[in-house]
Structure formats: structure tokens, C-alpha cells
A and B are shown apart, each in its own frame.
Chain A
């Protein structure tokens, strides 16, 4: 029943999308469309929660006579789908709530309103699809709907290029997935997932499917080196859509990867795990390094999406390695960590993008170098953004800490793996993870500090106004979820048990007895975490410290010159900037990773022109991978252009030549 109701929600969203085309010019359209989207998402969320928390004994399936005539459309709602549906619809509901307020500032509602519900519907469809055709159709629908949203403000500089790159990479990803499903379907062409599950491909075939799935789902999720479109396209969309793309669509991509690699392809080999975890580790570090170099608030967040996807793929890779070595408990731990991080990242990344959207509405600025001091003008947004920053920086007691801690616990189990490569590789990946976590914290000190603290660097920042109530309500909900999932992680981990059980054959120990809020991934003697205790400790310590300061210090509010030693000039230009904050890290990593070059121009003594400092960064991956590819394509297109202008007889000759060549191949082949 839940599945039918979910499909009903999808149909309702599609109807809202169709209505959005006709109504977009009316004033009432914005609240109506977002209201419908909100109600539908909440309904779908409760249905998915029901399916996850009280799972039926058999997964619900449904076949509809639409789509390919000999295949139909198959849908299925199992624990994995239900979990990702919870993530998707939670993000969808929050974005719709936020859109109720944010959408009023939209200058081109007709370009957003029809596609927003369609995008939500497409993501839901991907998650319940149970045959390759329906999956790929929904996947492509999702890509195109989000592309339309990226192009909503297509006249703004850079957006058209971002949309073009996104379209190219999305096509590449879908192509890889089509090939993966083609290999999975085998000679018999069984595109139904149930039939695919029953066949087990050979080693070579399985490896090819893994690589194709990593390329196809990875390009959508933002795995390095296929991430280049993500930091351009995600920020180009309106902010609530950015939140959906970063927070939810990348998770749908992760779902696609998990569905193919853990469910469809059959038993993994140990080196699959090494490959996936290594890709995750590199993605995490590259994502956060790029984020540190970035001064555009939304693009910084998008790079952090790349980093978090890396963390998720580390967990998935470990789960594969453990599964291949028949260590189900460890595999369940790694998978639970990855899936919990999926949930956590969708919550705090949506929150952060909403915060960035509120700043954008209030000031019209995304460049941090022109913001500052917003904590005085937008105190609530600042506080909520701080919560999100703490969560994404993996600080206890918030949720980001729990999932990263669980990932580390899984890494610490790697000495038990029999393969020497893994014994050496996994600790190295752990080091990459630790590095990225530390750099992420540094990056969010920068993002929060430069944007909200200090003094305003521009007139728009000086005159910013607090955002509307709808947006604040959406952000408050997500911030509360960040805290709850961090303080009471055991509930969330228990909810993940059926998913881990289905995919790895084991799950983390359920909470029991007195220490029902403590999570114990392996054994009490090794490690345990009690979020509530830690939260109380932090609250107590912070409260005591605050009380002590107020008790022993003067409570009178004083305004004194800030940082007066070396800071007597009242111009905001003398403050620390985003560039100066990241300079030490750029010095350490940038010279190698980005070939960073600083050019200092000092005027001659006595000259009146100003000094300047230019930093040049190069994206080596872009130069090494994408530029040559583009050059080859352009060259081939140039050469093949002649084929467009042949005579009729020349075309016939081409057909004839191709036919004869194929017949020759056939004759020789036998």
C-alpha cells in the first residue's frame, strides 16, 4: 500500500509541475506550488518512515503496464529505498518550506516553479524504480529537471557555461549507467532488477560494472575527477534548489551506486573496496582543498559536498572490502557509517545552503570578501549557520561527528583484513579522512568568521535584514535535526539496521539495557560514544564557564576598539579576509596541488599607484583530463564536419562501404 501511495505522491508532484507551467505568472502560484510540494513531501516522508521503521516482511512491489511494452515499469520499496526516500523527502520538505519564503524573491518564477516539483518527483521515482529502464528514465528525468533549474538564471554570467558542463557530465554519467545495466542484463536482456539479482556476472564483467557504476553514479555524486561540474552547477541554481541538488540529488546518486554494487552485481572482490575507498579518500581531500581556496560562499559549500561524498564513498569502499572478506559485522559498521553520513550530510548541507540563500537574499552577495558582520544584522541566520558549520566540521555533539567517528571505527578494523594492500591502504585513507576533517573545520571557521563576524566589508552587508519566517522555520527544523541526530544517534542507527541487514547480512548491535543511548560499534572495551552525555558535558562546561565569566567579570557592556593593537584604522579593509585566512593552507598544499603562484606588485618608491597581490591557481585535473578531451572532440568534430556536405552518391557509397565491411567481418569471424 505504501508503494502505491508513494507513487500517488509522485503523480501529485508531476501534476503540480504541470500546473506550475500554466500558473507561474500568477502571484499566488509560488505559495501554492511550494505548499503542495511541502504537503506531498511530508506525506511521502511519513510513508517512507513507516516502511523503514516497521518494515513489511516482503518488500512491496508493483508493476505498471507503462514504459517499454515487453518490460513494463516495475517499482519496489525495500529498506534501502525507504531509507533514501526518507532522506530525499526530508530534504524536499525542507526545501519546499524554505521556498515558501525564498521563492517570493524569485525574479523569474516561471523558470523555477514547474521544474521544482518535477525534480522532487524524479528523485522519488529513481528511488523506487525496480527495472533498468524505469531507473534510467527517472535518472535522466532528474538530470534534466535539475538542469532546467540550474539554467533558471541563465543570463547571469557563468551560469550558461555551468549548465552546459552539467549537461555533458550528466550525459556521460547516464551513458556509463546504461552500459553498466547492459552488462548486468547480459545476453538474455533481463532488465528487471529481480532477474538481474538472480544472475551472477563473471569476474571481468563484475569489475566492468563496478567501474561503470563508479563513473556513472560518481559523476552525479561528484567523485573526483568527475566532480568538475558540481561546484559550478550547484551554486548556479536558486538556493533551495542548490540545497536539493547538494543535499539530496548527490544522495540519489549514492543510492544508484549502492543499489548496483551492493544489491545487483553479486558478491564483491576485495580490490573493489580498495578502489572505491581510494576514490573516496582522494575525493574528500581534493574537495576540501578546493573549498578552502574558494571565496564564493555557495561554491565553497558545493566543494564541501564533494568532500562529504568522498567520506561516504570511503565508508562504502570499506563495506565492500569487509563483505568480500566475509566480515559481516565490520561491513555493517562501515555501511551504517556511510548511510548515516548520507542522512547527516543531507541535513546539514541543506541547512548551510539555506543559510547561504538567506545571506544572498539579504545582501545579493555570494562573495565572502564583500560580506562580514552579518551576525549583528541577521542573528538567527548566523546562529543556525553556526550549527550547520559545527555539524559539517564533525564537532560533537552534532550529527556529523557521529558518522565520521563510525567511519573511523571501521577504518580501525582494517588490520583484521587479510590482504596486505588493504592493510596498508586503509590506514592511509584514514589519514586522508582525518586531514579532510581537520581542513573542513578550518574551512568553516573561515566561512562563518568572514561572513558573519568582523565588520561589514560592503554597504549591502551593512544594511542586511534578517530573512523571513518560512526560511527560518526550515533552517530551525534542520538545525534541530542536526542536534538530535548527534545527541541520540542510537535511534538513527537502529533505524538503519534493516538496510545494513539486507545488504551485508549483519547490523550494528541494537541498544539495550541501561546504556540505551550509548553506541558501541564493536565492543565496549574498544570504543563507545554517548552523545547525550557529551552534550550535557559540553552544555555544563560552557554554562559554568559563562557563569564564571559573568560572575567574576564586569557585566557592563563596553564598546572598545577592536584588536586595537595593530588595528587602529577603522576601515574594514584592514580586517582578516577569506584570502588571508586560507593563505597558510594554500602555502602548504596549494603549491603542489594547485600550482599556486603569488604575484606581488609593489609600486616604485614615490609612485602613487596601489600595491597588489595576485594569486593564480591552476586546476591540474582540469588541465590534464578535460582540456585534452575537449581538444580531441573539437578536432574530431572539425574533421567530421566535411561528412555533413557530401554528395548523395558519396553518402550511398558510405552506406555501401559500411555494409560490405560488416559483411566482411561476419565472413571472417566465422
Chain B
């Protein structure tokens, strides 16, 4: 049914997403990070669109359109505005050095492949590989969230996790559109809420470095 080329392109997209996730890990400037995230969302939307084409599932085109419109355009633009208004163009400091973070990321991808390939032995080839890549993207997003201090980069890590979830769901043939729309909206609302919080935090403490927040909780000197 699915010819060789279609499968290869699907793999290419999923693998490309993992690659962009790695790119997210080593961005040390917020502007670059946001641009890379836009690329991340672009790859997801293309991947979803390709799935829609090879699975003949027209509703997935809507998913792809949402991913493209909201995550590749609106959210990056909004984040750019936020950081301009916050005036944070300085470099962001990873907690672990970039080399170690990358190594940890490679380990996570290996782990995801080791877990997923045996578990999904009965599933179709397409779903199998997609799931392994999607799990990698999710784990890399989590790794990003814990290795960054800046609240904006944590938001981006969170949204890259969501991209991984979409990749998994479309690969599994049949994430209902309703679920996708609601997830997309919840992400948007999360962005709005987090954006507001960022301003509030800055107003209070004159920084969005969450490390400084803990000092205000009173348990650290």
C-alpha cells in the first residue's frame, strides 16, 4: 500500500523533528531559540500533512494547518514580542554544559528506540518508527525543561513536548480532530497564561530567571 518513498519521507520528517529538538538544546540565545522552535513546529506541521496524504485522512490536514498557523507563526511572533518588551536579549545559561546536554539527549534517543521497537512489534512499520521518534522528542523536551533556567525557554520546552505528542498521535492513525483542537487551544491558553505570568514575575522581581524566584520563597539564602 504505502510505497517505499512515502515511508522514507515520513521517517525523514520524524527524524528531522528529533534533529530540530537537538538544535533546541544548544541554542543559547532566546531569539535563536524561538526561531528554532518555529522550525520545530514547521517540521511537525509538514510531517502531519504528509501523514494526512499517505493515510488519506483529510482531517489531519486541519491538524497540520493548526500546527503551522498557531505554533509556527503566532506563538513565535508572540514570544518575540514578549522578549522584546521584557528586554531580555542576553544569552541564556544552560545548567549543564551543552556538550553534556547533547550527550544526555543522545542517550535518551537510544532509550526511546530501545523501549519502543520491541513494544510495538505488532504495530505497522510506520507507527512503530514514528512512536520511537515521538518519544525521543518528548524526552528531549523534558530534558530542555529541566536544563534551562529561563522561564521563556521552559515554555518552549513544554511546547516541543506537545509537538512530540502530536507526532505520536498522528502516527497512530486516528487522533480525533476534537482532541487535537482542544490540545492546540490549551497550549495557546497556556502560552497566554504563562506570558502574563512572565510579565508579572518581571514586574515583581525585575527578572524572569526562575532561579531568583526561589530566593523569595524563603528557604534559600
Report the stretch among A204-212, A380-388, A413-421, A657-665 that lies at the interface: A657-665
With contacts A645-B219, A666-B115 taken as known, whether A660 is within 8 angstroms of B108 at the C-beta atoms is yes
With contacts A647-B214, A648-B210, A649-B210 taken as known, whether A656 is within 8 angstroms of B143 at the C-beta atoms is yes
Q: Within the assembled complex, what's the spacing in Å between the Cα atoms of A648 and B95?
A: 14
Chain A residue contacts of B95, Cβ below 8 A: 649
| CB-contacts of B194-219 with A (<8 A) | 210-211, 213-214, 217, 219
Looking across the interface, which residue of chain B has its beta carbon closest to that of A670?
Answer: B118
Q: Are A667 and B108 in contact (CB under 8 A)?
A: no
Chain B residue contacts of A653, Cβ below 8 A: 146
Binary A-proximity of B102-130 (CB < 8 A = 1, otherwise 0): 00000010011011001100000000000
Q: Within the assembled complex, what's the spacing in Å between the Cα atoms of A645 and B146?
A: 17
Q: Within the assembled complex, what's the spacing in Å between the Cα atoms of A51 and B118?
A: 57
Q: Are B146 and A652 in contact (CB under 8 A)?
A: yes
Q: Within the assembled complex, what's the spacing in Å between the Cα atoms of A652 and B157?
A: 12
A379 to chain B, nearest CB (A): 69
With contacts A647-B214, A649-B210, A660-B108 taken as known, whether A667 is within 8 angstroms of B114 at the C-beta atoms is yes
Q: Within the assembled complex, what's the spacing in Å between the Cα atoms of A575 and B142?
A: 79
Q: Within the assembled complex, what's the spacing in Å between the Cα atoms of A587 and B127?
A: 78
| CB-contacts of A624-646 with B (<8 A) | 645
Number of B residues contacting the other chain (C-beta, 8 Å)?
20
Q: Within the assembled complex, what's the spacing in Å between the Cα atoms of A663 and B217?
A: 34
Chain B residue contacts of A652, Cβ below 8 A: 142, 145-146
Q: Are B119 and A670 in contact (CB under 8 A)?
A: yes
| CB-contacts of A517-539 with B (<8 A) | none
Q: Within the assembled complex, what's the spacing in Å between the Cα atoms of A660 and B115?
A: 11
Q: Is B149 an interface residue (CB 8 A)?
A: yes
Secondary structure of the B contact surface, majority rule: helix
Q: Are A663 and B115 in contact (CB under 8 A)?
A: yes
Chain A residue contacts of B108, Cβ below 8 A: 660
Number of A residues contacting the other chain (C-beta, 8 Å)?
15
Q: Is B139 an interface residue (CB 8 A)?
A: yes
Chain A residue contacts of B139, Cβ below 8 A: 659-660
User: Among A647, A659, A670, which residue has its beta carbon within 8 angstroms of that of B142?
Assistant: A659
Looking across the interface, which residue of chain A has its beta carbon closest to that of B210?
Answer: A648
Q: Within the assembled complex, what's the spacing in Å between the Cα atoms of A648 and B197?
A: 15
Q: Are A666 and B146 in contact (CB under 8 A)?
A: no
B50 to chain A, nearest CB (A): 27
Q: Are A667 and B149 in contact (CB under 8 A)?
A: no
Q: Within the assembled complex, what's the spacing in Å between the Cα atoms of A245 and B211?
A: 55
Q: Within the assembled complex, what's the spacing in Å between the Cα atoms of A655 and B139?
A: 11
Looking across the interface, which residue of chain A has its beta carbon closest to that of B135?
Answer: A663
Chain B residue contacts of A667, Cβ below 8 A: 111, 114-115
| CB-contacts of A300-320 with B (<8 A) | none
Chain A residue contacts of B118, Cβ below 8 A: 670
Chain A residue contacts of B114, Cβ below 8 A: 667
Q: Within the assembled complex, what's the spacing in Å between the Cα atoms of A338 and B166?
A: 62
Looking across the interface, which residue of chain A has its beta carbon closest to that of B218?
Answer: A645
Q: Are A666 and B119 in contact (CB under 8 A)?
A: yes
B123 to chain A, nearest CB (A): 15
A638 to chain B, nearest CB (A): 16
Q: Within the assembled complex, what's the spacing in Å between the Cα atoms of A487 and B221?
A: 80
Q: Within the assembled complex, what's the spacing in Å between the Cα atoms of A125 and B11?
A: 58
Sample (16) of A-B pairs whose CB atoms are under 8 Å apart: A645-B217, A645-B219, A647-B210, A648-B213, A649-B149, A652-B142, A652-B145, A655-B142, A656-B142, A656-B143, A659-B139, A663-B115, A664-B111, A666-B115, A666-B119, A670-B119
| Residues of B near any A CB (own CB < 8 A) | 95, 108, 111-112, 114-115, 118-119, 139, 142-143, 145-146, 149, 210-211, 213-214, 217, 219
| Residues of A near any B CB (own CB < 8 A) | 645, 647-649, 652-653, 655-656, 659-660, 663-664, 666-667, 670
The 8 A-B pairs at the shortest CB distance, nearest first, are namely A667-B114, A670-B118, A653-B146, A652-B146, A656-B142, A667-B115, A647-B214, A663-B115
